[in-house]
Amino acid sequence: MKDAIEVARPAGARMTTARYGWVIVAAGALITCVAFGAMFSLAVFLQPVAETTGWSRAGISGAMTMDFLAMGVAGFFWGGLSDRFGARVIVLCGTALLGVGLALASRAQSLLEFQLCHGVLVGVAAGSFFAPLMATVSSWFEANRGLAVALVSAGVGVAPLTMSPFAAWLITHTDWRHAQQIIAALATLLLLPAALLVRTRPVLAASTPGSAQDAAATGSSGATSVGRALRTPHFVVLATMFFCCCAAHAGPIFHTVSYAIGCGLPTMAAVTVYSVEGLAGLGGRVLFGMLADRIGAKPALITGLAVQAVAAGTYMLARDLGSFYLIATIFGAAYGGTMPLYALLIRDYFGARMMGALLGAASMVSSLGMALGPAVGGWIFDHYHRYEGLYAGSAAIGIAAVVIALLLPPLRHKPARAATAA
């Protein structure tokens, strides 16, 4: 049973509903920051884990590859459940699984055990956060929807500014196993109360055929079921674009710390490059969310994809801390800004009724792209002892994402972004 009763509400209750939508935005931003920060902190652990265990970088990076694959498959599953039962119970289940997965990974005695604990359990847990939260938040807003969704996604951008430096600090004071156990406990303690704030929006009035609410429920594609929606050109093009976008930025995100260290930067300085990407991603999410509210999600997305492709290739030219900071700022703003826009496009094309399942399905496809970066980057370094090939490939795939985005079918109706937030 959903965590909100779907009944008509008087006009006086709408202001309270609108205000509580921002509470969910704040809770969602905290949840994505802590959850994805805990998972992505593996980039900081990469070198100390390899040095203390003797496991290859490709093998350890494989855990992150498995994270993305498991997150994608589980995201489709969790998203469908959130459409039916609401996001709160889904996020609570994911929180418990995240803590268990991180704690077990910290005690792994073999590479395979580490990959299964971190790569499968943590990945399945991460899948419970993105699609359910984005679908829930988008349902609370008509005006400012782009900004609201961007702020929830901004938690992912804040993560490198919080969890990654914290993980680096822990590693300087204790071994990586104890550091990861502390992160597991902290993540669980922070996520549980935040998850309890998540609610499904009450329906303000019954929709009638042809009404604005009916259009919001069915979207522009005309699909009336998840199965039909998955077969539409709208979804195929959108999911392929999402795949290429994530394939373009996954490798640089995961391997830039190691690349910067290889270029002569001290470890803590290299971690700050990752943090600069995260800070820029935070600003990029807000910027592109507001831009989408003004000009539409598709033009905003195409702009972000083009900037991302150029910035990924430019990493090959970075050698000192200043150049790393400059490129990280541009790259982080671009990849961070594009990520919330897929949720907006899915809402516009397919409506709110099955958004959790479809965003989960699109995220499942995109996770295949995210899985390529860490694994391919690790393989390139193990074989060539340099990362330039990774960044060149990322730029090429990013350009392909721009081309695919231009093929996205036009909307049948213009989404209402100017109405008062419900």
pLDDT confidence of 319, banded at 50, 70, 90? confident
Kindly state the average pLDDT of the residues 11-23.
63
Task: Identify the pLDDT of residue 415.
Answer: 54
Tell me how many domains the chain contains.
Answer: 1
pLDDT above 80: residue 9 = no
* Residue 352, φ and ψ in degrees, nearest 5: -90, -25
pLDDT confidence of 16, banded at 50, 70, 90? low
- Higher per-residue confidence, 385 vs 37: 37
pLDDT above 90: residue 233 = no
pLDDT confidence of 222, banded at 50, 70, 90? low
Task: Identify the pLDDT of residue 243.
Answer: 93
Kindly state the average pLDDT of the residues 312-339.
91
Of 216-225, 250-259, 263-272, 379-388, the least confident: 216-225
Structural domain boundaries enclosing 18: 13-204+211-405
Judge whether 3 lies within some domain: no
Q: State the CATH number of the domain containing residue 381.
A: 1.20.1250.20
pLDDT confidence of 181, banded at 50, 70, 90? very high
Task: Identify the pLDDT of residue 92.
Answer: 94
- Higher per-residue confidence, 103 vs 210: 103
Task: Determine what percent of the chain is predicted with pLDDT higher than 90.
Answer: 28
For the stretch 273-289, pLDDT in tens is 887 887 888 788 888 88
Task: Identify the pLDDT of residue 46.
Answer: 82
Closest by CA position to 254, among listed 154, 150, 369? 369
Return the top range by mean pLDDT from 139-143, 342-346, 372-376.
342-346
Closest by CA position to 223, among listed 361, 75, 74, 355? 355
Q: Which two tokens stand for residue 253?
A: 């995100």
**Are the CB atoms for 149 and 134 separated by under 8 Å?**
yes
Kindly state the average pLDDT of the residues 320-337.
92
Judge whether 69 lies within some domain: yes
Judge whether 419 lies within some domain: no
Of 27-36, 237-246, 281-290, 306-315, the least confident: 281-290
Close Cβ partners of 328 (under 8 Å, ≥ 6 residues apart): 256, 273, 274, 276, 277, 280
Task: Identify the pLDDT of residue 18.
Answer: 60
Q: Side chain identity at 233, as an amino acid letter?
A: P
Task: Identify the pLDDT of residue 2.
Answer: 44
Task: Identify the pLDDT of residue 191.
Answer: 94
- Higher per-residue confidence, 323 vs 343: 323
pLDDT confidence of 290, banded at 50, 70, 90? confident
pLDDT above 80: residue 17 = no
User: What global pTM score does this model have?
Assistant: 0.69
Mean pLDDT of the chain: 82
> Can you tell me the distance from the alpha carbon of 234 to that of 251, in angstroms, rounded to the nearest whole number?
27
Kindly state the average pLDDT of the residues 15-34.
82
- Higher per-residue confidence, 310 vs 166: 310
Judge whether 398 lies within some domain: yes
pLDDT above 50: residue 214 = no
Judge whether 147 lies within some domain: yes
pLDDT confidence of 263, banded at 50, 70, 90? confident
For the stretch 99-125, pLDDT in tens is 999 999 999 899 999 999 998 999 999
Task: Identify the pLDDT of residue 405.
Answer: 92
| Cα of 96 vs its chain's centroid, Å | 19
Residue at token pair 């965003």? 359
pLDDT confidence of 412, banded at 50, 70, 90? low
Judge whether 310 lies within some domain: yes
Judge whether 8 lies within some domain: no
Judge whether 418 lies within some domain: no
Task: Identify the pLDDT of residue 11.
Answer: 43
pLDDT above 50: residue 234 = yes
